[in-house]
Structure 1
């Protein structure tokens, strides 16, 4: 107990001595003016925060500028010539402009009267391109192959739904691919009588290999339907489109080159092989 009391008394003496020294040093610094200088330096070094002031922008009430063409479109009074006008760098004379306008109106009316078939889409050809397509070299190469065609043409060619080759057909009598007549259908591509969509466009080779049909018979049959429409109407069960795009949508793996396997097994086409496989699968599920 005595030792603890001695320690507490010594600690209190030390604290009192320490406080006395602090007060003495502070009084000495105040007499020299050092504390004032330190406080001023701290104030100068401390960055001042700028208060943000939100200034509300007041916009004028003047109406937005609109071109006359956009106003006509909004009002429903725009002409076909306005909506499909030529680029500004192509200048037309008054006579040429009237002919061009009349041609566009006739084309527009023809388009509105009937839905164009998928093997005769409406396009506009440049006269320079027509000269190139009608050359003897291009015509000779086009007829080298009747299957899918041998001349790729991104403008005039029609894409096959299965092989996705945008080629000119190899049919000798095709006025569209041979004479660049865009108002005529392509004889080397099919068109569905129901949907008239790209799903019903097949070239000669794909139509024969994948579905066992001849394009001459399809051209004569005005009521020919594509596999998509046949399935939708339930005309022929298990008759489906076997393109890679459609099979993936069904979560089925594409068949690849399955025609050899189909013919070895005695089937006419890949579609006939798939139809039998789907029938067997449905029987096993039962």
Structure 2
């Protein structure tokens, strides 16, 4: 019974405080203001909704940009420089290529001016792969995929930045002349045990892909990660230390011996 009596006392006290607060609000004139605000909030909203005005853009006064083909002009032949005109017919003076994948002569000359003599001097600090990366004049090695200027002192392409000259610091297969046969000095020695001077003197030098394809040595394969993955073989990584510890001249000699032994076990 005591618990219900305490609750009743609390309710009486609460109601007394509510009545006191209402009387205080009424004396201050705030009770009427509260009622007016409640009426405003409960009033129905207007049915009028804001409609965004749509303004149609007039494109007839703006000249359209059209290609030379749509304007009835024949495109420039491949490999030549061309001036492209703006929509108003005036030449913008920007030289662009014809989209055949080759860099235009203006870009090559601009790049040549940006390479300082000090930077060109640093390229010979590393004769193996070169120490100066250049995406324009550098030729990508098939194995290390480094597009660096070679470290050969008498290379006209990398030393004088002559695009039409071959890079004597990278190999060139006499059979395919493809990117598969391009190797830098370091990768050629470490991965295949060959010297660049011997390859340059041998006009009939062929890359491992062509040697295997022609049946010259079926076990002499390219050990780049790309080619090993195509064979569903695990890339060797830094295997030159293991190859030399086992007495092999290069990684290719190690793989050649392993493939021969595996072929004998299967047969």
Q: TM-score range by the shorter chain?
A: 0.5 to 0.7
Task: State the alpha-carbon separation in 2 of the partners of residues 267 and 221 from structure 1.
Answer: 23
Asked if the contact 1:122/1:183 (under 8 Å) is kept, the reply is: no
How much has 1:185 moved relative to structure 2?
Answer: 0.3
Gap change, CA 1:252 and 1:72, over 3 Å in 2: farther
- Aligned-residue Cα RMSD (Å) equals 3.0
Asked if the contact 1:122/1:182 (under 8 Å) is kept, the reply is: no
Q: Which runs of 5+ in 2 are unaligned?
A: 1-65, 86-90
Determine which structure has more spread, i.e. the larger CA radius of gyration.
Answer: 1
TM-score under structure 1 normalisation? 0.61
Higher helix share: 1
How much has 1:128 moved relative to structure 2?
Answer: 2.6
- DSSP-derived class of the 1:276 partner: helix
Task: State the alpha-carbon separation in 2 of the partners of residues 168 and 246 from structure 1.
Answer: 24
Task: State the alpha-carbon separation in 2 of the partners of residues 278 and 161 from structure 1.
Answer: 22
Which of residues 123, 127, 146 is equivalent to 1:142? 123
Larger RCO, structures 1/2 (Cα 8 Å, 6+ apart)? 1
Q: Which residue of 1 aligns with 2:93?
A: 91
Question: Would you say how many aligned residue pairs link Structure 1 and Structure 2?
Answer: 194
Task: State the alpha-carbon separation in 1 of the partners of residues 142 and 70 from structure 2.
Answer: 37
Asked if the contact 2:79/2:102 (under 8 Å) is kept, the reply is: no
Q: What stretches of structure 1 move > 3 A for 4+ residues in a row?
A: 66-73, 81-84, 86-90, 121-126
How much has 1:127 moved relative to structure 2?
Answer: 2.3
Task: State the alpha-carbon separation in 2 of the partners of residues 178 and 70 from structure 1.
Answer: 44
Q: Which runs of 5+ in 1 are unaligned?
A: 1-65, 98-103, 109-120
Gap change, CA 1:81 and 1:158, over 3 Å in 2: closer
Asked if the contact 1:69/1:82 (under 8 Å) is kept, the reply is: no
Asked if the contact 1:162/1:244 (under 8 Å) is kept, the reply is: yes
